[in-house]
Structure 1
Amino acid sequence: MSTSGIVHDDTFCFSGRYALGFFETASKSSKWYLGIWFNTVPKFTSAWVANRNNPIKNTTAMEVTISQDGNLVILNHSTKSIIWSTQANITRNSTTAMLLSSGNLILKDSSNLSEVLWQSFDHPTNTFFPGVKLGWDNLTGLNRQIVSWKNLMDPDTGAYCEILDPSGVDQFLFTPLNSSIPYWSTGVWNGKYFASLPEMTASNPVFTTTFVNNDQEKYMTFNLVNETMVTRNVIDVSGQTKQFIWLEGSRDWTMIYCQPKLQCDVYAICGPFTICNDNALPRCTCMEGFTITSPEEWELEDRTGGCSRNTPLDCISNKSTTHTTDKFYSVPCVDLRRNAPKVEAAASASECAQVCLSDCSCTAYSFSDNRCSIWHNELLNIRALQCSGSTSSTGENLYLRVSAEDFHRMKNNRKGIVIGVATGTGVSALGLFALVLLVKIWRNRSKSSTNILGGVQGCTRIIAFRYTDLQHATTKFRDKLGAGSFGSIFKGVLNDSVAIPVKRLDGAYQGEKQFRAEVSSIGAVQHINLVKLVGFCCEGSNRLLVYEYMSNSSLDVHLFRNNPMILRWTTRYQIALGVARGLAYLHDRCRDCIIHCDIKPENILLDDSFIPKVADFGMAKLLGREFSRVLTTMRGTAGYLAPEWISGVAVTPKVDVYSYGMMLLEIISGKRNSSASCSSGGELDVYFPVHAAHKLLEGDVGSLVDQRLCGDVNLDEAELACKAACWCIQDHELDRPTMGQVVQILEGLVEIRIPPVPSVLEAMAESSHSM
């Protein structure tokens, strides 16, 4: 986490890498802090805050000085009051404050500079400095721990901390503040590394870690192997520990390590009455019947307030009633294992529901394996699972208690509003007939229909479906094919014969005008290597997209799963070439440049002839031809994200080039880049993209190709594909080719030299072996 800080004129001292002074985290926030930041980094980044819980409103009346008792203090001139103090037990007043080159602010006796009376290293905030002792001082009782910021702009004490296990086990725990119940741990120290971090034994580490346990102290510390490297190790507002390195080339921090890796593993990361989903963006959404409690704090990634009810429960608003009208709303396919319900005696689900209704504090129940589980008050840690149907082997149905008013509104949102029984039946039948007719019109490319959007660039028109018709075609969205960006995909059938995939966009807050404009632009795209958009639905809050059906599923099914039919090399190469052509069309030949933003094997569909089709434009960003780049929120899938996504700068079509390069390596190897590559001699496995770049330099392309092909490979094509892939994943976007140039490379029309090993990826790989 980097703060966009503003430094006050009174910067008191510099010590090479670090500086000490007043700063505020946002322009005109009127909240100033005394702190230490990285002096050699042009992007303001706080490292330590003195008065994190007591910001200064008026710096003109403040000064940092040594008080009469010898402590370093922030003093208010006008009131003579102390805002902050080192609070050391000092028996003399001849003290001196110094900022060391290590970033340690120390207080010493002026007559004996070898004696440290107080030091900031004993009171870390959210940053773990090299040289800091994280743990206990048994003699003084000091417990050094790091605690996250409250949000991205507020250094106040946050919700998460990293502490030495208080039970005495030699490990560190990540817990909610003021709790010893961990949501992640380093594992036990075995003398060389922590059990959950075997990568600490790498032969070329970035850090060296030491764990000390004796009568006086018990702590962990780390030091840099290369002292010139600028790094940060923080506990983020996300509750994750993150390591960054500063790269001069990109002029920004690059994250090289994160634990726990899944955001939803962090305790209560989304707050009460929310659902956390590691496979969707945004990660946190409110349960139905609830809205975000504080949108402002939510935007700053402080979601501790979670979501609040739209309508109070009947038992709360009508306390004198003897019969509640509250209802239960089903939340399917969720993980409830991290909750602590109260188990009640109930022989059936209906009895379990009655037990909950009899207690006003009961907010939800579940019933499975003849076990009635009851939840009271706030619901935390509800996690969405990837399910093919309504449930999975580990997923459960949670029955959420809501007011009758909200229940009926949510039920109508799911099922559609039926106006009249007799007329409703007739309208549905007529709608289905119209639906089939419209599809036939679309297939015959007719130009007359009031329910079709006019396409741009003279392309095929798009059908505007009704929500109730798509409900009927998908049997009320029962057959889930999978999950894509921002939504789920369901199988539908038109006229009992025409199969269609229907994507329902989840949490779509996009306005109707903007949604229709983007549908028009994307629907105008016509290319053999792009999935055709058949139609859409935009009714109320419902946003759905209908695509053409692909009989051979997606590329990941053939590359990574236990599929008996292995894709031949010629097929793989044509798939790689086809995808490159499709992306080149999106970037260069549409009215608006379309940046896909989520290129990965799951989004490459294959027809009955294995012709690839780029699909899932749910994250796509339109870029007008008069602009060279666009600023947007981070989107995409981990493992395929270009470095500029992480730095937060405006992006260009080169982010798709990077993702394509990552995917091309997977096409070549037949396995995920994140999977361990083959190793020998007992060495640790290496990150495959870095391994591939090195093998390419060594001229050993054959070892990179999927071994299941048994050598049936055109090595000239394999070398060409490897070169193209490694150029695509270069650190800087200017070093990457365009997708049009990639097409020319794969077609053998241009010469291409061997690319350098991407330094960001290599640094990330090395750092992952150093912890």
Structure 2
Amino acid sequence: MESFSRTSPQDWELGDRTGGCSKNTPLDCNGNRSSTDVFQPIARVTLPYGPQSLQHAPANRSECEWACLTNCSCTAYSYHDSKCSVWQGELFSVNKDDGIEISSEYTLYIRLAAGDVPSSTRDSKRKPAAGAVIAASVISFGLLMLMLLLVILRNRFNWCGMSSQATNQGNVGVVAFRYADLGRATKNFSVKLGAGGFGTVFKGVLSDLTSVAVKRLEGARQGEKQFRAEVSALGLIQHINLVKLVGFCCHGDKRLLVYEHMCNGSLDSHLFQSNGTVLNWSTRYQIAIGVARGLSYLHQSCRECIIHCDIKPENVLLDESFVPKIADFGLASVIGRDFSRVLTTFRGTTGYLAPEWLSGVAITSKVDVYSFGMVLIEIISGRRNASVVHTSSNDHVTFFPVQAINKLHEGDVQSLVDPELHGDFNLDEVERVCNVACWCIQDNELERPTMGEVVRVLKGLMELDMPPMPRLLAAITT
């Protein structure tokens, strides 16, 4: 942006951008008079970390803007779906929608000195009415009293939380729930949706009739303070292809997470179960791109790289429009699990684990790339990779991913496609998916693409050569 300059141009030349940028002109903020600062809208960006919510939500964007303008520490705000969030201090991890790896419909309004904004923008801004000043003061005082009351009640009754909203912005922030409330919401944890390496998931309905999925964690080793910190960090992660974390509860040694409920369940139910909806090829292809985008965001766009460690169809959930959303990201850190012990504690996911888990080398984001490659092959075939395939000669059993690479080399990928599609698929897209999948499952992690590169390949913006046969996969079938 023209209103900003690189804090350290020398570091930028060396590829180190951690110093960020700074405003060319200091903000005008004096508690004794109205500020002349204005706001510059930046459309289609991911919102920065650390939003501050307003307990009494402004009725419109103008009131949200005024709440930021009257706070000398406020540097930006966002108003989306009637929800106002403000940011104080530096803004971290703001990414522009590039239509490939990053997708966002949010608009961020950045506070600038009046001299740094074109006059047409300044003239369009209206001075807030005096009544808004009074209203903001009353709201601030009421918020202070309410927070004090909640602190007193929490200390008195030792609650793990009562609807204390950390932030009110779309895909960020978490709510602390009482264990008794989640018990009622889930009918005493009676409606089981599924189970995995991290715990069991139950369906629930909150008092406002919102459907949620409540995950009861197993083996959590975190203390309450660290658990809250880890969960709060996850609540700040936002992406259209990641399941939204609604809230949490810590009650004694019990740890629970509350997620938005995905009405179309998980990907495995549609690929492998006879009573599931048969996904057409177009939907499968968009699911592949969506999951790749979500993983790319976790690996490359978050403040710290987040390795999922358990990518599989069961952890790909589908909303009402079959948009894929990755579940269970970041849970290894939430429950305090040591990566060296993940292999022995995960259940039923060995078919997706990269060779590094067995060799004992350091785990990187490329383990997710390997798992994603295995999922891509299952999206093509509509069958489990672990199932066996009998050849016409001597009834030899072959691991399906090996067959996929052989068919790719022979130019016969159409024979791999799920027969339930009855030939209705785009062959170029199938070849593209199969090709990138076979690169993802290479033995050497250095030969695997990054998830950002996978997105570009699936979008047709990048091409890969023919992949070699992974020696480890070939060896286990001989």
TM-score bracket relative to the smaller structure: 0.5 to 0.7
Bigger Cα displacement from structure 2, 562-571 vs 577-586: 562-571
Structure-1 residue corresponding to 2:284: 572
Residue correspondence of structure 1 range 505-520 to structure 2 within 5 A: 505-520=217-232
Q: Report if the CA contact (8 A) 1:485-1:616 is conserved.
A: no
Task: Establish whether residue 734 from structure 1 lines up as the match of residue 450 from structure 2.
Answer: no
The code of the aligned residue for 1:633 comes to R
The code of the aligned residue for 2:459 comes to E
Task: Establish whether residue 546 from structure 1 lines up as the match of residue 258 from structure 2.
Answer: yes
Structure-2 residue corresponding to 1:634: 342
The code of the aligned residue for 1:664 comes to L
CA deviations over 1:556-575 (Å, ceiling 9, x no partner): 00000013631101110000
Give the distance between the partners of 1:704 and 1:678, measured in 2 at CA: 14
In structure 2, list runs of 5 or more residues that go unmatched.
Answer: 1-55, 58-79, 86-142, 148-162
Bigger Cα displacement from structure 2, 611-620 vs 750-759: 611-620
Give the distance between the partners of 1:621 and 1:705, measured in 2 at CA: 37
Q: Secondary structure at the match of 1:634?
A: helix
TM-score by length of 1: 0.40
Q: Report if the CA contact (8 A) 2:83-2:170 is conserved.
A: no
Q: Report if the CA contact (8 A) 1:631-1:649 is conserved.
A: no
Q: Secondary structure at the match of 2:395?
A: coil
State the identity %.
60
Structure-2 residue corresponding to 1:653: 365
The code of the aligned residue for 1:610 comes to F
Give the distance between the partners of 1:703 and 1:522, measured in 2 at CA: 41
Give the distance between the partners of 1:621 and 1:747, measured in 2 at CA: 32
Deviation, structure 1 residue 459: 6.3
CA deviations over 1:645-680 (Å, ceiling 9, x no partner): 112222011010000000110000000000112522
Structure-2 residue corresponding to 1:597: 309
Residue correspondence of structure 1 range 371-450 to structure 2 within 5 A: 445=83
Deviation, structure 1 residue 521: 1.9
Which of 491, 494, 498 aligns to 2:203? It is: 491
Deviation, structure 1 residue 496: 6.5
Structure-2 residue corresponding to 1:68: none
Which of 267, 272, 278 aligns to 1:560? It is: 272
Q: Report if the CA contact (8 A) 1:491-1:502 is conserved.
A: yes
The code of the aligned residue for 2:406 comes to H
Deviation, structure 1 residue 511: 1.9
Q: Secondary structure at the match of 2:472?
A: helix
Task: Establish whether residue 606 from structure 1 lines up as the match of residue 318 from structure 2.
Answer: yes
CA deviations over 1:329-385 (Å, ceiling 9, x no partner): xxxxxxxxxxxxxxxxxxxxxxxxxxxxxxxxxxxxxxxxxxxxxxxxxxxxxxxxx
The code of the aligned residue for 1:657 comes to V
CA deviations over 1:490-538 (Å, ceiling 9, x no partner): 1111126221110000231222222222212211111111100000112
Q: Report if the CA contact (8 A) 1:454-1:461 is conserved.
A: yes
Q: Secondary structure at the match of 1:561?
A: coil
Q: Secondary structure at the match of 2:463?
A: coil
Give the distance between the partners of 1:633 and 1:456, measured in 2 at CA: 36
Task: Establish whether residue 526 from structure 1 lines up as the match of residue 238 from structure 2.
Answer: yes
Q: Secondary structure at the match of 2:190?
A: coil
Max radius of gyration: which structure?
1
The code of the aligned residue for 1:765 comes to T
The higher-RCO structure (CA 8 Å, 6+ apart) is 2
Distance 1:496 1:452, change over 3 A: closer
The code of the aligned residue for 2:293 comes to R
Task: Establish whether residue 482 from structure 1 lines up as the match of residue 190 from structure 2.
Answer: no
Structure-1 residue corresponding to 2:215: 503
In structure 1, list runs of 5 or more residues that go unmatched.
Answer: 1-436, 623-629, 767-771
Bigger Cα displacement from structure 2, 443-452 vs 692-701: 443-452
Q: Report if the CA contact (8 A) 1:486-1:618 is conserved.
A: no
Q: Secondary structure at the match of 2:474?
A: helix
CA deviations over 1:197-233 (Å, ceiling 9, x no partner): xxxxxxxxxxxxxxxxxxxxxxxxxxxxxxxxxxxxx
Q: Report if the CA contact (8 A) 1:690-1:762 is conserved.
A: yes
Distance 1:761 1:724, change over 3 A: same
TM-score by length of 2: 0.63
Give the distance between the partners of 1:582 and 1:569, measured in 2 at CA: 20
Structure-2 residue corresponding to 1:701: 413
Q: Secondary structure at the match of 1:655?
A: helix
Give the distance between the partners of 2:168 and 2:476, measured in 1 at CA: 44
Q: Report if the CA contact (8 A) 1:479-1:490 is conserved.
A: yes
Structure-1 residue corresponding to 2:20: none
Deviation, structure 1 residue 446: 5.6
Distance 1:675 1:514, change over 3 A: same
Structure-1 residue corresponding to 2:426: 714
Give the distance between the partners of 2:372 and 2:233, measured in 1 at CA: 22
Deviation, structure 1 residue 458: 10
Q: Report if the CA contact (8 A) 2:351-2:386 is conserved.
A: yes
Q: Report if the CA contact (8 A) 2:443-2:472 is conserved.
A: yes
Q: Report if the CA contact (8 A) 1:581-1:740 is conserved.
A: yes
Deviation, structure 1 residue 454: 4.2
CA deviations over 1:384-415 (Å, ceiling 9, x no partner): xxxxxxxxxxxxxxxxxxxxxxxxxxxxxxxx
Structure-1 residue corresponding to 2:397: 685
- Greater fraction of residues in strand: 1
Give the distance between the partners of 2:420 and 2:455, measured in 1 at CA: 26
| Alignment RMSD (CA, Å) | 2.5
Give the distance between the partners of 1:678 and 1:496, measured in 2 at CA: 53
Give the distance between the partners of 2:222 and 2:276, measured in 1 at CA: 42
Q: Secondary structure at the match of 2:240?
A: coil
